[in-house]
Amino acid sequence: MASTSGKPSKTSQKDKISSETPQSMANPKKAAQDSFKDVASNTIDTNGDARSSGSDNTSTKHLEVPEIAAEDQFDFLVGLLTGSQQEEIEEIKEKIDDLPLFVDRLSEALPEAIIKRGDDRLMIQAFTPVVQKTLDAATQGDPDEFARRLLPSIRRSIRMIVEETVDKVVTQLNYSLEHSLNIRWRIEALQSGRPFSEVVLAHTLKYRVEQVLLIHKETGLLLNQVNHEEGSSEDGDLISSMLSAIQSFIQDSFKVGNQSQLENVRMGDFELFIEQEKDVVIAAAVRGVPTADLEHVLEDATNYLQLVFDKELKSFDGDTSVFEDTEDTLRACLKSDFEVPSKKPNPILIAALSALGLFIVLSLGFNIYRGQQWRGYINTLKSEAGIMVTQENRRGGRYEISGLRDSYAKDPTELLKLHNINPQKVTAKWEGYAATDPILLEQRLKATLKAPATALISVDSNRNVIFKGYACENWSSIALTLTRMLPGVNQVDTSAFESVQCN
């Protein structure tokens, strides 16, 4: 029996949609071309109403649609739909595709963006690796130029470091003297059986981070850990599992949302500080009461590790070796703070420093005096004829000297006494040589020729040998021959000398 309902059949509508819609969705360009043909097969009324080409021509004006190739009909239809906006679309597309133009616009906005977020810790942490690599490249490329540019800053830094180091040494010396003489603490150490250093630490320590753990937030697995050198090392895996269990227990038992996070756990003198990020957790075991700065240090470290190891944290598969490079960042969290020693001057410290200062002044003065003595001795040797100093050294309380010495020159050991230098502290090595100094040359001639009393031998400043008087012919012949062969002799003058026959 046929339905009397005026509503169209649902089955027929569904069949119609299933037979038409997929065809147009499968090929949108083909559908657009069919639509274009429908437009082309109709006329456009002057009032805007579309009519069939077979309508009454008396009330309708017809506009012939130009013939357009099939491959261009889709673009033509798009142009009809977009109209004047097509130019704006093309302009936007050109700006996106034009890389130099994009770079220019980005360069204008980038400085303002950096200035706006200049104080953001994440921005600083993001730029830190880039700056470090840039500095490494600069030092490897031209280290001399890099050092020259840094020299003014380095000088100021060295001066500040030296001043700070001296201040720390004095403070630490005062600190050590004050506590090493603390009788009450020594008695406490003897009574408790603990080392004296541990008793001092218990009385002076404000806080110290004993251990820092890096934990993967999703799995609760330990990624890396560092311990204080003097602190006890607990099982990091056990602590990380405990934290995950505690947080799950609190969320389940007290109906706390997943957004709530465990921040710290205290037991006795220890407190576990916890900083969490999207994928990573840092837990620091702290002895004592830390300052507020520690929370900022842990927060900065957590943000930095999340930023630098974001990819590794998201794709973590149980391999912790990729997080070995986090050790330096974690070790920077091992902070500690002690009680500042009293600024009141300690009499013992004052006496000790005074004695030390006096000793240093006397040592420096004595050292300078000994140095002046040695320098005076060296200058005396250099001014002596027939002595050439080739090397000299002063090391501690001993002296070393070496060189050349003519056998007729003065004895260097005798000269040591003139400068109040102990000869036993001097190691000397002298090599022999024949000096050409006129004085030494004359001494050598007289010692070699052994002239008779009637003959006089002298050497002038130009190393000319002058014979005067008379002597036997045999001696004269030998003496003159040896004189002319002697190194350093310039000329031999015998104008005032006479050789005679001797029986």
pLDDT of residue 72: 66
Summarize pLDDT for 38-58 with one digit per residue, the tens. 554 544 443 444 444 444 444
Percent of the chain with pLDDT over 70: 67
- pTM greater than the 0.85 cutoff: no
Number of H helices and E strands in the chain, helices first, is 17, 14
Contact assessment for residue 272 and residue 262, using Cβ atoms and an 8 Å cutoff: no
Q: What is the pLDDT of residue 6?
A: 42
Quote the percentage of the chain above a pLDDT of 90. 3
Six token digits for residue 323? 């997080």
- Neighbour-count burial of 417, counting CB atoms closer than 10 A to its CB (0-12 exposed, 13-18 middle, 19+ buried): exposed
- pLDDT value at position 432? 87
Q: How confident is the model at residue 2 (pLDDT cuts 50, 70, 90)?
A: very low
Tokens of 327: 């050790």
Estimate to the nearest angstrom the gap between the alpha carbon of 144 and the chain centroid: 16
User: Exposure of 46 by Cβ count < 10 A (0-12 exposed, 13-18 middle, 19+ buried)?
Assistant: exposed
Q: Over the range 16-29, which residues count as b (16 or more CB within 10 Å of their CB) and which as e?
A: eeeeeeeeeeeeee
Residue that has been written with the tokens 């030296």 in this structure = 162
Cβ neighbours of residue 462 under 8 Å, at least 6 residues apart?
A: 438, 490
Residue 397 confidence (pLDDT): 78
Indicate the pLDDT class of residue 371, thresholds 50, 70 and 90.
confident
Which of 61, 59, 26, 18 has the alpha carbon at shortest distance from 42?
A: 61
What mean pLDDT is predicted for residues 100-116?
A: 77
Lowest mean pLDDT among 127-141, 261-275, 280-294: 261-275
Structure tokens of 365?
């003065």
pLDDT at 145 over 80: no
